[in-house]
Amino acid sequence: METVADTTTAQAAAPRRTPRPRADALRNRERIIAAARELFVESGPDVPLDDVARRAGVGNATLYRNFPDRAALTHEVVLAVTSRTTRRVEEAVAAETDPFAALSRFVHAAADERIGALCPMLSGVFDRDHPDLLAERDRLEEAVEGLVARAQSAGRLRTDIAVGDVLVALSQLTRPLPGIACLDIDRFTHRHLQLFLDGLEAPARSELPGSAATLENLRRRD
């Protein structure tokens, strides 16, 4: 016969269920990340967090409950932008049979994700070597490497460039100037990106100085 002590022991041994966040709490968190992403693009990563809360339509208490400091919020914004950009690679591959067209589609989609805004954020004070960030970075780099390799194998992309060249140019051409509203970035950005893409297409029309930029080149911090 089961005793009260047995029941108590069994209850104590049973794993406790972690309560799932409410739907409205998840929406607030997503709104904060989206607002921070927009404001980091417009005004740089040092924008007041009060402005982020106002843009998201939440109170300061809600923001700090989700993100206790700027580093925590920046971490999530970088993670979100990187993850969304990787999905744009996957969508480009699924939508385009021509590998160079897939690369072009990705480059323009990455600009819409404001990927250039990651650079000033990465220079901030937060753990850029966090396992979550490294995992997402590796996913993105592997996906872009696949795009470049397929386009080169098909003879559609010049062979004297590497994936680092694509990422550097993409970053430079989409990096916003702090203090300037950049919500209409495609007015010039997509035009200049297309000029860059035209220069990538094979056959090459010129000889590039120096050597191709690899991912290892980009990861060096010295």
- 52-77 residue pLDDT tens: 999 999 999 999 999 999 989 999 99
Question: What is the four-CA torsion angle of 110, 113, 118, 121, rounded to 10 degrees?
Answer: 180
Residues 88-121: tens digit of each pLDDT? 999 999 999 999 999 999 999 998 887 877 766 6
The pLDDT value recorded for residue 101 is: 96
Which amino acid is present at 161? I
CB 69 within 8 A of CB 39: no
Closest by Cα among 122, 91, 97 to 109 = 91
Q: Chain-centre distance of CA 136, in angstroms?
A: 8
Alpha carbon distances (Å) from 191 to 187, 194, 209: 7, 5, 24
**Confidence bin at 18 (pLDDT 50/70/90):** low
Give the DSSP letter of residue 148: H
Residues 124-167: tens digit of each pLDDT? 666 778 899 899 989 999 999 999 999 999 999 999 999 999 98
**Confidence bin at 218 (pLDDT 50/70/90):** confident
Q: Taking 80 as the threshold, does the pLDDT of residue 17 lie above it?
A: no
Question: What is the pLDDT averaged over residues 186-209?
Answer: 85
Give the DSSP letter of residue 210: S
The pLDDT mean for the chain works out to: 83
Closest by Cα among 23, 114, 124 to 69 = 124
* Number of C-beta neighbours around residue 168 at 10 A: 14
* Number of C-beta neighbours around residue 29 at 10 A: 19
> How much of the chain exceeds pLDDT 70, in percent?
80
